[in-house]
């Protein structure tokens, strides 16, 4: 009897983005993180580009006092209406 087919779980599908799991952050990783944050790149996209999990991005940014909040968005759409 053949073994049951392997079901892809979330861990396996995320393995491509986690190629740096457990490795120390390099200075180029940190500089790329800072550039992407300044461009208001979403955390998940930063993680995919650097090869880290979103949690790793949050943790590293927090340790470097880098805010991941978008800087160019008006809160509650408080734009003045023309008219």
Q: Residue 1 has what pLDDT?
A: 67
Kindly state whether residue 83 falls inside one of the protein's structural domains: no
Kindly state whether residue 79 falls inside one of the protein's structural domains: no
3-state secondary structure of 36: helix
Q: Residue 11 has what pLDDT?
A: 45
38 phi and psi angles, rounded to 5 deg = -65, -30
Domain assignment of residue 43, given as a range: 39-67
The rounded distance, in Å, linking the Cα atoms of 39 and 70 is: 9
Contact present, 57 and 33 (Cβ < 8 Å)? yes
The mean per-residue pLDDT over the stretch 34-62 comes to 93
Q: Could you give the number of structural domains in the chain?
A: 1
Kindly state whether residue 77 falls inside one of the protein's structural domains: no
Judged against a pLDDT cut of 50, whether residue 15 lies above it is answered with: no
20: confidence class by pLDDT, cuts 50, 70, 90: confident
């Amino acid at each position: 009897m053949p073994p049951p087919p392997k079901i892809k779980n979330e861990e396996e599908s995320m393995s491509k983005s986690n190629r740096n799991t457990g490795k120390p952050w390099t200075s180029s990783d940190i500089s790329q993180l800072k550039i992407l944050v300044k461009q208001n790149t979403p955390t998940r996209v930063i993680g995919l580009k650097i090869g880290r999990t979103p949690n790793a991005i949050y943790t590293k940014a927090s340790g470097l006092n880098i805010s991941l909040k978008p800087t160019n968005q008006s809160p509650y759409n408080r734009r003045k209406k023309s008219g």
